[in-house]
Structure 1
Amino acid sequence: MTAEDRAWAADFEPCDICDLCGEVVGDDDLLGALVPDSSAVYGTDPALDGKRVLTACTVDHLAVLVEQYRARPFVAEELWAAKVRRAVAEVAPPVPLSLLAKLSGISEQEALRGIYWHNARAREWRARYGGADRACRGD
């Protein structure tokens, strides 16, 4: 970061936005919760995988957000698929399942179930919206 960048950043108070309404909230007033979410994976901290950080401007908004995530099913295969996807991005193919599992921090069985889950979602998407070739061509 340059001196100019630091000077520019110093003019701003740390803040975030409410995940429900989008209101900008200063750090001193920001409320947060950590909820289970099988779609949440993090490139910088895999220990947080499967957990979503929620931010809110009021207790009522935080309660609504927590309830929304409580109602959402936690699908382990979704989490494993995301872990595999992150690992695949780090190595050149072909990647043996044993290495993929090791890089993902999950078992070979979990990696395989994650792959199957991902492929099933991809087939559902193609059935609903058309093949990948059509989408890529812009037809």
Structure 2
Amino acid sequence: MNRNPEPLERCGQCQALIEEGEALGTHVPDSSYLHPHDPTRDGDRPLIACSPEHLAELMKAAGARPYLDVELWAGKIDRALATCPQGLSLYALAVKTGLTQDQIEQAALWSGRSVHSLGNPP
């Protein structure tokens, strides 16, 4: 007997609880999405729905949003800096995020920050 059943999924469109085994799902490219546990899945947003119609609506909404590599890079930088309140050198930031110095510079420019401020705590 399983005393801790898996939590039920919620439809991303209507928030209805979905019975076990009934959820429909897919993944869509989304540069604003950072996976909570697996950085290799950043930018690959899961969609869960209770019906084909709701899944289609979620996919339509996701498809209307442009995918920007620089937005994904900025998110990776923010996540890395959030785990290091003392700040990181640019080299350490590159190692922690897997980004090149050029990608870090582009992300800083895109987010309106100085490259040198990225490695320092606020």
AA aligned opposite 1:68: A
Runs of at least 5 residues in structure 2 that lack an aligned partner in the other structure: 114-122
Residue 41 of structure 1 is matched in structure 2 by 34
Greater share of helix: 1
AA aligned opposite 1:118: S
Question: How many angstroms does 1:94 deviate by?
Answer: 4.1
Residue 74 of structure 1 is matched in structure 2 by 67
Greater Cα radius of gyration, structure 1 or 2: 1
Counterpart CA distance in 2 for 1:25 and 1:69 is 21
Pick from 119, 128, 131: which aligns with 2:112? 119
| Runs of 4+ with deviation above 4 angstroms | none
Pairing 1:15–2:8 present: yes
Using CA pairs under 8 Å that are at least 6 residues apart, name the structure with larger relative contact order, 1 or 2: 2
Q: TM-score, structure 1 length as denominator?
A: 0.73
Q: Deviations over 1:81-128 (max 9, x none)?
A: 0100111123353422222111101111111211222226xxxxxxxx
User: Is the Cα contact below 8 Å between 1:43 and 1:86 reproduced in 2?
Assistant: no
Question: How many angstroms does 1:48 deviate by?
Answer: 0.7
AA aligned opposite 2:73: W
Counterpart CA distance in 2 for 1:76 and 1:106 is 11
AA aligned opposite 2:107: G
**RMSD (Å) for aligned C-alpha atoms:** 1.8
Count of matched residue pairs: 112
Pick from 75, 87, 91: which aligns with 2:84? 91
Runs of at least 5 residues in structure 1 that lack an aligned partner in the other structure: 1-5, 121-139
